[in-house]
């Protein structure tokens, strides 16, 4: 019973922490990377709920290779479905988001006690998905702001904290699958 309580506690603490961190970093992005403060005086929460603020200049942290720049993504990863009409896109992301997070939550709680890495990975994915889901439902787009630009070689699509959490979760799931593949098969 204690193990189940720990799983539940870990699940809710992890996804809550990731959700709060994601939303706080997006609040920072709106305040630091747009002109919303000048045009909409008020509280920080009011700044965050302004639709389509005007982007300001980017903030560089690694020369031209890494910087923060405000962007709005109405689609999924790599702007998939960004050109689809909102009457399709909004219900699609709502249904797919609810179904995916529900299935991952079920998968999390069905994981065996020794599958800790799987539970960590799923909690990261769900926490990140929840952060972007909150944006989609409230704003109808996701706020992205981290840019990795390798010049003519490659420019990674602009992303956010939630995207990073999902990516880390996916990497952990892949690592966990390799870990299982390396284990000898159990004898019957």
Q: Pick the more confident residue, 108 or 62.
A: 108
Residue 79 DSSP code:
G
Task: Say what the pLDDT of residue 8 is.
Answer: 94
**More confident: 46 or 149:** 149
Q: How far apart are CA 99 and CA 105, in angstroms?
A: 10
DSSP run (H or E) holding 70 = strand 66-73
Task: Tokens 């539940």: give the residue.
Answer: 8
Contact by Cβ (8 Å): 166, 77: no
Cα–Cα nearest to 73, from 142, 147, 166, 20: 142
Residue 1's pLDDT band, with cuts at 50, 70 and 90, is low
Q: What is the pLDDT of residue 154?
A: 83
* Predicted confidence (pLDDT) per residue in 14-50, tens digit: 999 999 999 999 999 998 999 876 555 555 555 555 6
Domain residue ranges in the chain: 2-180
- In this structure, what token pair is assigned to residue 7? 């799983």
Q: What are phi and psi of 63, to 5 degrees?
A: 60, -140
Cβ-based neighbour number of residue 130 at 10 Å: 19
User: pLDDT tens across 110-141, in order?
Assistant: 999 889 999 999 999 999 999 999 999 999 89
Q: Of 125, 107, 127, give the one whose Cα is nearest residue 22.
A: 127
**Residues annotated catalytic, as ranges:** 144, 163
Which DSSP symbol is given to 183?
A: S
For the chain, what percentages of helix, strand and coil (3-state, to nearest 5) are there? 60, 15, 25
Distance CA 146, CA 119 (A): 27
74: CB partners within 8 A, 6+ apart: 81, 82, 86, 89, 140, 141, 142
């Amino acid at each position: 019973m204690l193990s189940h309580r720990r799983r539940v506690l870990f699940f809710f603490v992890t996804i809550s922490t990731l959700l709060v961190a994601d939303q706080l970093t997006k609040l920072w992005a709106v305040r630091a990377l747009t002109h919303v403060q000048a045009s909409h005086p008020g509280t920080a929460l009011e700044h965050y709920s302004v639709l389509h603020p005007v982007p300001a200049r980017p903030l560089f942290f690694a020369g031209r290779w890494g910087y923060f720049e405000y962007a709005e993504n109405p689609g999924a990863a790599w702007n998939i479905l960004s050109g689809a009409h909102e009457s399709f896109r909004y219900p699609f992301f709502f249904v797919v988001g609810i179904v995916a997070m529900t299935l991952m939550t079920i998968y999390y709680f069905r994981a065996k006690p020794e599958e800790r890495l799987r539970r960590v990975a799923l909690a990261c994915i769900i926490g990140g998905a929840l952060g972007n889901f909150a944006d989609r439902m409230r704003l109808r787009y996701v706020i992205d702001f981290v840019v990795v630009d390798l010049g003519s070689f490659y420019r990674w699509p602009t992303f956010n904290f939630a995207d990073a959490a999902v990516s880390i979760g996916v990497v952990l799931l892949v690592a966990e699958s390799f870990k299982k593949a390396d284990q000898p098969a159990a004898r019957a």
